[in-house]
Structure 1
Amino acid sequence: MMVTNSAANGFQFSRRSEQKLRSLHPALVQVAQLALRKSRVDFTIISSRRTLDEQRQLVATGKSQTLNSRHLKGEALDFVPLDPTTGKGRFDRGLAIEVAAAFMDAGQEQGCPVKWGGMWQGFEDIPHIEMMKTKQANPARASG
């Protein structure tokens, strides 16, 4: 069951983001919900689980480098920060760092550590968050 996330920071997932979250591993959903509450920057989910055909297209266009993406298992998502002045999605590294920090903090707190693609060497994937290991995910540690 998806619960609309309303936090002290006033951020809430859009219906589209909530729909994308439904296809993800439950532990990653919990991390995303907590990250939204913790983040100083609002964000939206732009990609979640993918089909192999979708992944092939992304590799063919150079937007991904692997056919073995965690997106195929619902263990990864892509986000875009929302510009604080316009409320529109903006691929801004500084804003993305704020969101990624909230994800990493939330992952540690939930017992489901995540990696941010913006820290990768060689192929920087700024919108990408993925679970480090599925076996570390602990859906029982839900925060609400």
Structure 2
Amino acid sequence: MSARLSARSRSRLNGVHPALVAVVEAALTRSSVDFMITEGLRTPARQAGLVKAGASRTLKSRHLTGHAVDVAALVDGQVRWDWPLYGRIAQAFKSAALELNTSIVWGGDWKSLRDGPHFELDRRVYQ
């Protein structure tokens, strides 16, 4: 595992809230599964396209304000979408967030449209 973000992942954190960036960086050092950032801040046009494609259900995504990131698990340098990998990444995110006193929400904990790659700052704390 690399335990550091690639230049591409780091660039995808541009515009993301500093508290979430800190959680991402701390989670990477704790995670038993390497990961990359696939998306951080989104434009309204990108979000609308995701809704139209059925990949999102809202035009009020936390990505629009820099309060969310999506990750992809990396196994032997290859992106993998196996659900158990994201539970392991989530454990690292939750541990890092607890240590940093940062309230986060994992999309994998949602009751509908579970989203394993998605992490966001809790909207009750971060507006």
State the TM-score, normalized to the length of structure 1. Answer: 0.83
Q: Determine if contact 1:113/1:132 at 8 Å carries over to the other structure.
A: yes
Number of the residue aligned with 1:80: 72
Cα distance between partner residues in 2 of 1:74 and 1:100: 19
Number of the residue aligned with 1:41: 33
State the TM-score, normalized to the length of structure 2. Answer: 0.93
Q: Determine if contact 1:112/1:136 at 8 Å carries over to the other structure.
A: no
Number of the residue aligned with 2:96: 106
- RMSD over equivalenced CA pairs, Å: 1.6
Bigger mean CA offset, 41-50 vs 128-137: 128-137
* Richer in strand (by share): 2
Question: Which structure is larger by alpha-carbon Rg, 1 or 2?
Answer: 1
Deviation, structure 1 residue 134: 7.1
Higher relative contact order (CA 8 A, sep 6+): 2
Cα distance between partner residues in 1 of 2:9 and 2:79: 13
- Pairing of 1:58-69 with structure 2 (within 5 A): 58-69=50-61
Unaligned 5+ segments in structure 2 are none
Cα distance between partner residues in 1 of 2:2 and 2:124: 30
Identity %: 40
Cα distance between partner residues in 1 of 2:109 and 2:125: 23
